[in-house]
Amino acid sequence: MSFDEIYNIALMQGFAGLSLFSVLLLMGLGLAIIFGQMGVINMAHGEFMTIGAYTIYLFSSLTETHAPGLMQLYFPFAILAAFAIAFIFGWLVEWALIRHLYKRPLDTLLATWGLSLGMQQVFRSTFGPKEVSPTLPDWLMGSWSPSEGLDIPINGLFVLVLTLLVTGGVLLALYKSRWGLRVRATVANRPMANATGINTRRTDRLTYAIGCGIAGVAGAAFTTIGSTGPTSGSLYIVDAFLVVTFGGAGSLLGTVASAFGIAQTQSIAEFFLTGSMAKVLTLLLIVTILMIRPQGLVASKIRR
């Protein structure tokens, strides 16, 4: 093997890690807001991602039958729609279920697990038990080869760029907008935030809905990588929670760091071991580190 080949393998391996990083981060972002900031254990997070994925599927099949000329264009709009639908649904769920349970985190866990079961059955009844994939526009297919023997898949690049955009957007919103200010005030000290005139209930609802909307975007992005079935959401849930917990709940930067660390560990381990053993090794590592350092990578400075 020449030096060039090794170099290319290293680059592609690095990109595989980056790709996994963007997937994990996108999964974790919505949860970092809902679980990290609000402390709500949303076991239905994966199903909100599935909502986004099915939205893309719906858009692609509608465009295909009614306006085949627009096939190259529908994707960005579908992503916005995925956000909107997941957002609205999240809003409703908060109103109907979550707001009654803020003081009982462990019960929220059970209730949202129930919700996720119900949503899975709705997906199954609506879209059928089989996995579906949307017809993607041509510009998302294939790979980009900047040099000989180096192939970087475009869908991976797309997810990476989208992740960076969403992360940047969330960071900006959380630290520069009025909503972000209200969220941070509510997280830091709820009674005090209430006393200063912040409507914490409204903030909660909006925050939960935004978290769900981001989950929808994540699900939408994942349709470029894999197919969607009624139970795909449940595959993500543990990973998403571990990313947020490992990063240190309450810290968005911690979530970014932990997604990066987990992704690189796993993709490097996958290079040497089988997929399942790499997963076991990574999870074991996370659990061990969390046992030693329960507050996660970046400890929040909030007094609880």
Partner 1 sequence: MDAFKNWVARSGMGSVLILALVIMVVFPLTMDIFRLNLVGKYLSYAFVAVGLVMLWGYGGILSLGQGVFFGLGGYMMAMFLKLEASDPITTKIQSTPGIPDFMDWNQLTALPLWWEPFRHLPLALIAVVAVPMILAFIISFAMFKRRVGGVYFAIITQAVALILTVLIVGQQGYTGGVNGITDLRTMLGWDIRDDSAKYILYFANCVLLLAVILLCRWIQMSKLGTLLLAMRDKEDRVRFSGYDVAMFKVFVFVLAAGISAVGGAMFTLQVGFMSPSLVGIVPSIEMVILAAVGGRMSLVGAVYGALLVNAGKTYFSEAAPDLWLFLMAALFIGVVLVFPNGLAGLYESHVKPWLARRKAPKASTQAVEPPAAPLSSPSHKSAPSAPLPGGVQGQSA
- Binding of partner 1 at residue 291 (CB under 8 A)? yes
Q: What angle do CA 67, 69, 70 make, to 5 degrees?
A: 75
- Encoded one letter per residue, x for contact with partner 1 by CB under 8 A and - for no contact, window 69-98 reads ----------------------------x-
Q: Minimum distance between the CB of residue 234 and partner 1, rounded to whole angstroms? A: 7
Q: Minimum distance between the CB of residue 213 and partner 1, rounded to whole angstroms? A: 22
- Quick one: which segment of 54-62, 195-203, 259-267, 285-293 binds partner 1 (CB under 8 A)? 285-293
The burial class, CB within 10 Å (0-12 / 13-18 / 19+), for 72 is: exposed
Q: Report d(CA 229, CA 82) in Å as an integer.
A: 16
Interacting positions 111-130 with partner 1 (CB under 8 A): 111, 113-115, 117-118, 120-121, 124-125
Q: Report d(CA 171, CA 208) in Å as an integer.
A: 16
- Binding of partner 1 at residue 109 (CB under 8 A)? yes
- Binding of partner 1 at residue 302 (CB under 8 A)? no
Interacting positions 138-157 with partner 1 (CB under 8 A): none
Cβ-contact 212, 90 below 8 angstroms: yes
Q: Left if phi > 0, otherwise alpha if psi is -120 to 50, otherwise beta: which for 67? A: beta
The distance from CA 153 to its chain's CA centroid, rounded to whole angstroms, is 20
Q: Which is nearer to partner 1, 63 or 245 (CB)?
A: 245
Q: What are phi and psi of 143, to 5 degrees?
A: -140, 165
User: How is residue 35 annotated by DSSP?
Assistant: I
Q: Which is nearer to partner 1, 169 or 294 (CB)?
A: 294
Beta bridge partners of 132: 228
Q: Which is nearer to partner 1, 286 or 297 (CB)?
A: 286
Q: Which is nearer to partner 1, 103 or 178 (CB)?
A: 103
Which element (helix H / strand E) includes 59? helix 45-66
Interaction site with partner 1 (CB under 8 A): 39, 41, 97, 100-101, 104-111, 113-115, 117-118, 120-121, 124-125, 234, 237-238, 241-242, 245, 274-277, 279-280, 283-284, 286-287, 290-292, 294
